[in-house]
Structure formats: C-alpha cells, structure tokens
Amino acid sequence: MAVSIVVGTHWGDEGKGKIVDYLGENAQVVARAQGGNNAGHTVIVEGEKYVFHLLPSGVLHPGKVGILGDGMVVDPSSLLGEIDFLRQKGKDVSERLFLSSKAHLVLPYHRILDGIYENIRGGRKLGTTGKGIGPAYEDKVSRWGIRVGDLEDEKLFAQKLRVTLDYKNLLLERAFNQPPLPYDKILEDYLSYASLLRPYIADTSKMIYQFYREGKNILIEGAQGTMLDLDHGTYPFVTSSYPVAAGSLLGVGLGLGSISNLEVLGVCKAYTTRVGEGPFPTELQEEMGDYLRDKGGEYGATTGRPRRCGWLDGVILRYAARINGITSLALTKLDVLGGIDSLKVCRAYLVEGEEVDDFPVSSHLWDKCEPVYEEMEGWEEDISSVSSYYDLPSSAQRFVEFIEDFMQIPIAIVSVGKERRNTLVRKEIF
C-alpha cells in the first residue's frame, strides 16, 4: 500500500493529468483534493482527448474509485456535465465516484463576483478563470459557504441559500449596481442538482482512510501548481487554495502520521509556462517563446488563453521541491524541445548584482530576477516514438540527467508525447 501525491512544480499546466492517468493503472483510488473546475487536466488515450475539470484524471481506467475531496469547491452543473460526457464516451464512472459532503458549492453569485472583482483590479488583473472559484473559497473562509452535504436536506439548503443570497444581492445592488439574482430559480436549479448528486455524496475522508488501511494504492491528483499556492506562490497572482503536497493531504482528510509509505511526485515541463499575470523570470518574449507555444500547444485547457512560455526555471523547481518534499520528478513535453540547437535551464538569478539560488520572498524583487542560464546542446530528432529512455538521443539524455543532478532528485518519468503510451519510466512509483 502507498500514497502518491502528484503536484505541479511551477504555475500549473505541467502535464499532471497525463501523469495521473498513466499512474492510475496501478492505483485503486484516485482523488482530487483542492480547487474546482478552474483546473483543466488533459488526457489523450488512443487518439481520444479528454479534458478533466473536476473529475480525477485516473478514472479512465476501469474499476478505479474516483474521489472529489473535502478541500474542493464544486460547481454541480460542471460536475454533472463531466459525468455525462464520460458516459457518452462509454466510460461510465457513476458506480465508482464519490463526492465529499464537506466540499463547498460554487453558486451563480460566485461567478458574477469573480468577474466584478477582476474588472475592479484594472491593470492589476490576476487572470482568473472566471469560474467563481476564488469567491467560493472566500465564502468558505468567511463562513458564508454552503456545503455539498447541505443539498441532502432541502429545508436546510433553502434556509442557507435565502440568508446568503439576501446578503449577496445587497452587495451586488448597492456596491456594484448589479441586478439581484432570483432566489426561486437558484433554489430550483440546485435542488434539481441535489437529486442527481445525492448518490455520490459520502464521507470521503473516512473512505480514503479505510482504503489505505485495506492496503489500496491511493493517488492524489493536485490541481494548479506550487507557484499558485495561496501561501507559497507569487501572491496575489495565485489561486485561492493550496495546491502543494500538504494541501493535498488536508484536502482529502488523510492524516500524515497514518501514512507509512508516501511518495511526492513533482511534475514539470522541460520548459516553463504560466497563464495569467504575475512574475515569470525566464519568460521568452521573442521568437523562441512563440516556437514553444505553437509546438507545445500551449493554450489553456480551461480558458483557451495562450500560455506565456520560457526556459525551464530550475530555481523555482528547487523551491517547489523544498516546499512539497518532492521525492521524485516527472519531466513532461521533452519532445517539444526537439529541433532547438541550444537549450537553456535557469540555475540561479542575478538580483541587484548578487547571484541567488532561491526564489526571493519579497515581491518587490521578483521583477529584478535576471536568469543565470546553463546552456547545453539540443537535438534534431523527433523523439515522440521512442519507447525506451536509452533510445533517446544522447543530448536529450544529458538534458534529463543535468536536471536530475541539479535537483538531486530522481526523474522517475519522462513524457515524450501526448498519448499515454508516450511515457518512459525510469523508476516505478507504485
């Protein structure tokens, strides 16, 4: 039995969905812990593309239990849409999917407020997905939130909705000059969702603990990335939850002291990307950035926005390893670097004339970080059909092993293409 946590090492979009799908074959339980449908995890199996926003990516494997954990915020319409999409694809998960009663609901006013807050920021926009995730977490923290479990009692849900909506409508009308939202319509919609979601609602924390005690392999799928963490990321250009490894355990309700075999797998691209605003020391504005974006298909799975692209930031990768306690790495999209004569990896920053090897704590220094690069030879070959690590071009192997030596952490998995089969394993996780 083992627990493996998959975390993003940069600003999300590292390829966690593909890695979770691959590892899901040897796990019995796959769980999401944090975030909501602001996630967009892409999996391609035998030419068929699946984009997961709420469901764990590993549920494509037959018989795997999927769990949406306590720390999530859930838009019922989005969740039911995903379940129905998989059913139409012949991947019915309804008998093996469980939704935490402690997870919080995303409601219509959350999405409206998300857009309002973003517009108010003007030139300091965060680049949110507009899905209402931040306002839902805001309500959770301020204790205005409504939980999934509240849907099981129609009278209780109606009471909570009335009180909360009265407050939100007051805010919308008086502060933002917006029309009030209709109580009866929202109540009707969500009671309709309740009837459909009721079979999935469970005490998922207890379930995961029991699964672990039974010797099952548990895979926890992180959303977003370390640098979007509310505490440890590039605040305020962050998400509203805790995508680091500790947040994963918190979000599924599994106590650290009860786990005897824990693997933390950090996922990073062979280069770095981010969506939205905020610092990005290795960003490439010129032709090379466009090359990486076009060849790598770097457009947000949730928003469709083009991702900012740059060389691999080893400073942030090392920071993420420390924050998460990463034990192994998965390197994705190595194939995208094919055809580039000279590759770069950022090994340090030059900040106000001083070379530093850690990400600065103070935000006023972020824009002053000048990357110090290690340069190495690239390769011309298309490596997407390679089935063994040792069949990679020697320069591709040297690139991988440079990162491994730099990090002093084993690279367990190397991804060389979009499909599940385009995965080279150097170390077994389960």
Dist. CA 10–CA 313, nearest whole Å: 8
- Residue 45, pLDDT score: 81
Q: Three-state DSSP class for 67?
A: strand
Dist. CA 133–CA 118, nearest whole Å: 12
Which of 412, 401, 248, 408 has its CA nearest to residue 328? 412
Q: Note the CATH architecture for domain 3-95+203-425.
A: Alpha-Beta Complex (3.90)
- Report how far apart, in Å, the C-alpha atoms of 300 and of each of 19, 98, 127, 397 are: 18, 27, 12, 29
- Return phi, psi of residue 241, to 5°: -135, -165
Which of 238, 209, 253, 202 has its CA nearest to residue 70? 253
- Report how far apart, in Å, the C-alpha atoms of 393 and of each of 377, 378, 379 are: 11, 9, 7
- Residue 50, pLDDT score: 86
Q: Is 166 known to be catalytic? A: no
Counting as low any pLDDT under 50, the low residues of the chain are none
DSSP E strand stretches across 156-258 = 201-202, 218-221
Q: Which of 41, 53, 104, 110 is catalytic?
A: 41
Find out whether 358 and 318 touch, Cβ atoms under 8 Å.
yes
pLDDT, tens only, 272-302: 999 888 999 999 988 999 999 999 999 876 6
| 291 CB neighbour count, 10 Å cutoff | 16
pTM of the full predicted structure?
0.94
Count Cβ atoms within 10 A of the Cβ of residue 113 and give its class: 0-12 exposed, 13-18 middle, 19 or more buried. buried
What is the residue extent of each domain of the chain?
Answer: 3-95+203-425, 104-200
Dist. CA 131–CA 9, nearest whole Å: 23
CATH code linked to domain 104-200: 1.10.300.10
- Residue 123, pLDDT score: 65
Q: Is 41 known to be catalytic? A: yes
Q: Three-state DSSP class for 163?
A: helix
